[in-house]
Chains A and B, each alone.
Chain A
Amino acid sequence: MSTSANEPRDPQAIRISNVCKSYGQYKVLKDISAEVSRGEVVVICGPSGSGKSTLIRTVNRLEEINSGSISFNGHDIHAPMRTKELNLLRSRIGFVFQNFNLFPHLSVLDNIAMSPIRVKGVPAAEARAKAVKLLERVGLADKQNAYPGQLSGGQQQRVAIARALAMEPPVMLFDEPTSALDPEMVGEVLSVMKSLASEGMTMLCVTHEMGFARDVADRIWFIDAGQILETATPDEFFKNPQHPRAQRFLADLRH
């Protein structure tokens, strides 16, 4: 994936250091530190309310943090900076939402082409041609002129992934991308994610799909009550979880 020439050479794509966040008295994230290397696929799992979504939303600063730092390719995302700079950084971090959040007033093609045109200043014809290619890649070439409301959930999420890819981000974040889908549509979205991973994309995914975690992830972060309790390869994590909370979580999943 493209990275600009003047990028500081931090070997880690994402470096989370001592991040704390609270809503009033309630501590959501408690001193979290972790890294994602270039090309690595990390799956964050854990029970609901554990802070998974909040954590992933702090990585592109959709949520602010109270202390600590998060660097993306060596840039401190939460440092005081001009909004222009932040927008530029954000444009280089792909984000896929649980509820797709496609723009319902735009056609599928315009959903994908709009941001390259408006944010990066890519000529419209070029952006559209690229959007068509991306649609082919997610298997929706025939839906260019459809509106999001005419698509199934699985199709919408695939368009959302294509939309994020259109900005050519070196890193993709997924916030429970399959949780809002009917069971029969989960597979089509996961297979797009799998092919992305196999192309070497750096990915950080919050998901409950343990099959995906087992097959695709390089590492798993198990998070509960705002802390990363365990970091392990899928093999270690599923066969021999160390933390008692992780053991209980996996036991509950098997029932």
Chain B
Amino acid sequence: MITDLIAIIRDYWLLLLIGQYPNGPLGGLANTLILSALSIALAFPVSILLALARLSKWTPLRWPVTMLVYVTRGVPLLMLILWCYFVVPLVTGTDVPSFVIMLTTLVVYQGAFLSEVVRAGIVSLGHGQMDAARALGHSYLGAMRFVILPQALYNMIPSILSTFVSTIKDTTLGYVINVPDLTFAASQVNNQLLTQPFQVFLILALVYYALCWSLTHVANRIERRIARRRAGTVSATISETAQATKMITEQP
């Protein structure tokens, strides 16, 4: 069993790591990482904009965005991917790479989910902080930037993080539209070996687990460091324990 795993990794590590590259498109783990990183990097600012739009007093902005968020959240991701895959080329009339389609879909989908997290973070602060900032003469956006968002985003780190982790997991669905990612590479390996699906997909699972776990771990450390700085020196130990318990319960 272990020897099988080692043999598969020894024979196919390059395919699993970078796909067909340089003889074909970049794929494998490298592509999964790129797709995840781009999705997260784009979905995060998009989510803040969506959240601000949903909190806007201006109806022509609030309603369409609210609709978008509701529809996106109410539809399975797989359906959204297939829909984009077939509709986008029809609309644009050109052949859009499946990687781009997957990226766009993930940004919209995770952006919508994250926007609800961000919005909850903003709303849960209450009116007092905004009132105080406005009374000091800050503009609405200035108050958001310097007072509301730093607190809202910080409070929401555990939830934001679990959305990031689920974004990584969701990249696997790119398989259905032939995005050459790690899952795609693993299934190529499986097609060549034919007799060892359990071993191949166990490797796949382990890699994804390592990826998601390390992201959670890194972010936990960042959060604890912020908490320590914010608590100053006096109550550092107490709040650190409190943070730790919180992280355990909210781990994705």
Contacts and interface: CB of A to CB of B under 8 A. Distances in A.
B88 interface: no
Given A84-B139, A119-B138, A149 B146 contact: no
B142 interface: yes
A149 B136 CA distance: 21
B137 A167 contact: yes
Given A147-B232, A149-B231, A150-B235, A101 B136 contact: no
Contacts, number: 74
B150 A167 contact: no
B138 A115 contact: yes
Given A101-B128, A101-B131, A147 B136 contact: no
Contact of B137 (A62, A88, A104): A88
Contacts of A99: 128
A119 B230 contact: no
B135 A95 contact: yes
A94 B140 CA distance: 18
Interface string A30-44: 000000000000000
A188 to B, nearest CB: 20
A101 B151 contact: no
A103 B231 contact: no
B139 A62 contact: no
Contacts of B132: 95, 97, 101-103
Interface residues of A, number: 31
A192 B207 CA distance: 62
A120 B139 CA distance: 12
A114 B133 CA distance: 10
B135 A60 contact: yes
Interface in A127-152: 145-147, 149-150
A146 B131 contact: no
A77 B147 CA distance: 24
A15 interface: no
Contact of A105 (B128, B131, B154, B232): B154
B128 A90 contact: no
Contacts of A150: 231-232, 234-235
B243 to A, nearest CB: 14
Given A114-B146, A147-B230, A149-B231, A164 B136 contact: yes
B134 interface: yes
A99 B128 CA distance: 8
A103 B147 contact: yes
A104 B226 CA distance: 13
B129 A118 contact: no
A93 B135 contact: yes
Contact of A90 (B129, B134, B154, B235): B134
Contact of A91 (B129, B131, B136, B230): B136
Interface string A66-100: 00000000000000000110011011110101010
Interface of A: 60, 62, 83-84, 87-88, 90-93, 95, 97, 99, 101-105, 114-115, 118-120, 145-147, 149-150, 163-164, 167
Interface of B: 128-129, 131-140, 142, 146-147, 150-151, 154, 230-232, 234-235
Given A164-B136, A167-B136, 11 more contacts: A60-B135, A62-B135, A84-B139, A93-B135, A95-B135, A95-B136, A101-B131, A102-B132, A104-B151, A115-B136, A150-B232
Per CB-CB distance, the 3 closest pairs between chain A and chain B, nearest first, are: A91-B137, A101-B132, A95-B135
5 contacts: A60-B135, A101-B128, A150-B231, A150-B235, A163-B136
